[in-house]
Amino acid sequence: MKRAYMDHAAATPVRPEVLEAMLPFFAERFGNPSAVYDLGSEIKAVMEEQRGKVARLIGARDNEIIFTSSGAEANNLAIKGMALATFLKRGKHLIVSGIEHHSVLNSARFLEKFFDFEVTFLPVDRYGRVDPERLQKALTPATVMVSIGHGSNEIGTLQDIPALVAVCQAAGVPFHTDAVATVGQVPVEVTELGVDLLTISGPALGAPKGIGALYFRNKLRLVPQLNGGIQENGRRGGTENIPGIVGLGTAAELAGRELSEKAVYLAKLRDRLVAGVQEHIPHVFYTGHPEKRLPGHASFCFEGIEGEALIFLLSSQGIYANTGSACASKALKTSPVLGAIGIKPDVAQGSMVFTLSRDTREEEVDHVLAHLPPAVERLRSFSPVWRKKMAEAGGA
């Protein structure tokens, strides 16, 4: 049976080059980078070399990179760490968009619940973009920071981060962006974006699960969220995950080399998929911005079906996609992201997200296009609500 794996936003395989680079650091080169003897100092040097690779991918300085266990941890450190470090001087107001990853939204809600912060959840337009004028109106003298993601893993939309940052810079408010979906997919330069903090995830680059990073502009203050020793210049306690860090550094280096060619390739495959879906399946919504979006991302809402049922039906044909954010797909609730862009709940239930990678081939796209239309038609045939709607439409 042919296979088409198109859920790379949820999980993607470790690249062979990355795995090869990591292997020695599980056994032969096992030293603790905090040790003062040579076995430790050698590992420390390796770790700093990888820090430089990650920094170069986003145009940052080496000492502006903090290694974390994941993108989610980096978001927690950015939101909580920044807010708790500055609220005594600035105030207790935080702004995030309403379509952020749960690690951003729930960090904001944590501050709201336990530290009495006021949180503004900014609405978005029908494409999922934040209006800079709306952001400007939401700022107050008590605003400690703003967090708006660079790209959405659920609907693919890219934000105009420089325009949003300009609003915050004029007010002297620090800006964080969750760039898990974009680093390695589109050009990301922290100086061009103007951001103060930026989140990276290793798995999104082909590194293993369990590693991420946070860029933070020099001279910013952060309250550590993991208390321990002096690791990461006192900003994150715990012995560093050296194999994971080597994996992230290697993946970042590879991503930088391949970025332009990869983006063009993925956009071509995505457009092939989108065109085929829109041509062969009626009553489908292409969600997110039609142009300003991730190159390897295609998201739809199919009227008259349940996304979970479609997932199971497609998996029987070796096709693997998702209904939305992998962190919320088991909740069986209407996606708040789709609700925020104005998709009706009954239509949002039929959401499907296809995320491609550099290893995706045209044959896989064609395999999806061969099986997706009949799968949607079959599920619609089981729905009395859908049959009634079609009968009424025909009668009209």
Q: What is the mean pLDDT of residues 290-318?
A: 96
Domain covering 4-11+259-395 assigned CATH 3.90.1150.10 in the classification: yes
How many helices (H) does the chain have, and how many strands (E)?
13, 12
Task: Give the list of residues 6+ apart from residue 312 with CB closer than 8 angstroms, or none.
Answer: none
pTM: 0.95
pLDDT confidence tier of residue 394, bands split at 50, 70 and 90? confident
pLDDT at 209 over 70: yes
Bridge-based pairing state of the strands 297-302 and 319-320: unpaired
Convert 5-16 to b/e letters by CB count within 10 Å (16 or more is b). bbbbbbebebbe
Question: Could you write out the DSSP letters of every residue in 90-117?
Answer: H-SEEEEETT--HHHHHHHHHHHHHH--
88 by Cβ neighbours in 10 Å (0-12 / 13-18 / 19+) ranks as exposed
Task: Give the range among 64-73, 191-200, 218-227 with minimum mean pLDDT.
Answer: 218-227
Higher pLDDT, 305 or 389: 305
Q: What is the CATH number of domain 16-255?
A: 3.40.640.10
Scanning the structure block, which residue is given the tokens 């904001």?
108
pLDDT-derived band at 241, boundaries 50, 70, 90 = very high
> Which has the closest alpha carbon to 196: 71, 64, 48, 62?
64
- The residue-averaged pLDDT of 77-103 equals 94
Whether 4-11+259-395 and 16-255 share one fold: the answer is no
pLDDT tier, 295 (very low <50, low <70, confident <90, very high otherwise): very high
DSSP 3-state of 246: helix
pLDDT one-digit tens code per residue, 324-367? 755 544 555 678 999 999 999 999 999 999 999 999 999 999 99
**Is residue 90 very low, low, confident or very high in pLDDT (cuts 50, 70, 90)?**
confident
Residue 384: band (very low, low, confident or very high) from pLDDT cuts 50, 70, 90: confident
Top pLDDT among 393 and 281 is at 281
Q: Domain locations in the chain?
A: 4-11+259-395, 16-255
What pLDDT does 395 receive? 46
Tokens, residue 385: 């609500």
95, 245 Cβ separation under 8 angstroms: no
Q: State residue 330's pLDDT score.
A: 52
| pLDDT value for 396 | 43
pLDDT of residue 378: 96
pLDDT-derived band at 253, boundaries 50, 70, 90: very high
Q: What is the mean pLDDT of the chain?
A: 94
Please confirm, yes or no, whether 301 is among the known catalytic residues. Answer: no
Q: Exactly one of 10, 309, 327, 370 is catalytic; which is it?
A: 327
Task: Convert the pLDDT of each residue in 37-57 to its tens digit.
Answer: 999 999 999 999 999 999 999
pLDDT exceeds cutoff 90 at 30 = yes
Question: Could you give the angle at the alpha carbon of 258 between the alpha carbons of 213 and 289, nearest 5°?
Answer: 75
Residue 178, pLDDT above cutoff 50: yes
Rounded to an integer, what distance in angstroms lies between the CA atom of residue 338 and that of residue 332?
14
